[in-house]
């Protein structure tokens, strides 16, 4: 993971309003997937060689859905190169820039914009990384988020664990059955490139789909 000033890809509605909101100034490339009091999640899509306009983001987590090569023009007129590989995840501090897809293919990603500041909380008793490391790996962690990669084979099932509030981003199509602490069950999952709000919960998860499931979970602190 590289911590950057949102220069490696795409640099959140929040208590702090940004004058150059990408959704307002560049709706062609940025659309809202979900929005609540803790995060705003954007789908990002640029055609080959397409350019944005100057805009800004608060601190964010970006998940690359495609290999991406980007040039960022900064407010002072300087430019830097960035990008990432499909499936890579990066954290970015708040920043202002003008991105351009300088690659030869469509660029896609999901951006989780963070609202508010760090609290240092969100500790859980049944940490999935400790009780079920076969399915949960930490990609990176800081004072705002912990980002996990979750891999579950077909018909495989996790051990019981719990998460704080977070956002799930699907690298593959996923279909799952969640068994909650009280024994009740519910169905869940999503399509590749989709994102869902994952409220704090204790559960086990079974992959009921026909393919392995790969998910990025952005746990909020």
* Domains, in order of start, for the chain: 3-114 (2.60.120.10), 128-220 (2.60.120.10)
Element (H, E) at 40: strand 39-46
Nearest alpha-carbon partner for 80 in 91, 67, 70: 70
pTM, full prediction = 0.90
Q: Which residues contact 126 (CB under 8 A, 6 or more apart)?
A: 160, 161, 162, 202
Could you read off the pLDDT tens digit of each residue along the chain, which spans 221 residues? 444 434 444 443 334 456 699 999 999 999 999 999 999 999 999 999 999 999 999 999 999 999 999 999 999 999 999 899 999 999 999 999 999 999 999 999 999 999 987 665 667 899 999 999 999 999 999 999 999 999 999 999 999 999 999 999 999 999 999 999 999 999 999 999 999 999 999 999 999 999 999 999 999 99
């Amino acid at each position: 993971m590289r911590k950057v000033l949102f220069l490696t890809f795409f640099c959140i509605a929040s208590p702090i309003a940004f004058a150059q909101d990408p959704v307002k100034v560049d709706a062609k490339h940025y659309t809202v997937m979900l929005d609540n009091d803790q995060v705003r999640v954007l789908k990002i899509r640029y055609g080959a060689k397409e350019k944005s306009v100057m805009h800004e983001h608060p601190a964010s987590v970006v998940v690359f859905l495609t290999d991406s090569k980007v040039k960022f023009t900064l407010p002072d007129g300087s430019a830097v190169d960035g990008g990432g590989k499909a499936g890579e995840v990066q954290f970015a501090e708040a920043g202002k820039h003008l991105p351009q897809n300088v690659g030869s293919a469509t660029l896609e990603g999901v951006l989780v914009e963070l609202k508010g500041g760090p609290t240092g909380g969100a500790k859980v008793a049944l940490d999935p990384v400790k009780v079920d490391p076969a399915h949960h790996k930490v990609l990176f962690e800081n004072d705002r988020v912990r980002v996990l990669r979750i891999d579950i084979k077909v018909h495989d099932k996790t051990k019981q664990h719990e998460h704080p509030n977070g956002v799930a981003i699907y690298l593959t199509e996923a279909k799952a059955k969640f068994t909650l602490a009280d024994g009740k069950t519910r169905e869940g999952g999503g399509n590749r490139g989709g994102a869902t709000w994952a409220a704090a919960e204790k559960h086990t998860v079974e992959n009921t789909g026909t393919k392995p499931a790969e998910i990025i979970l952005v746990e909020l602190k």
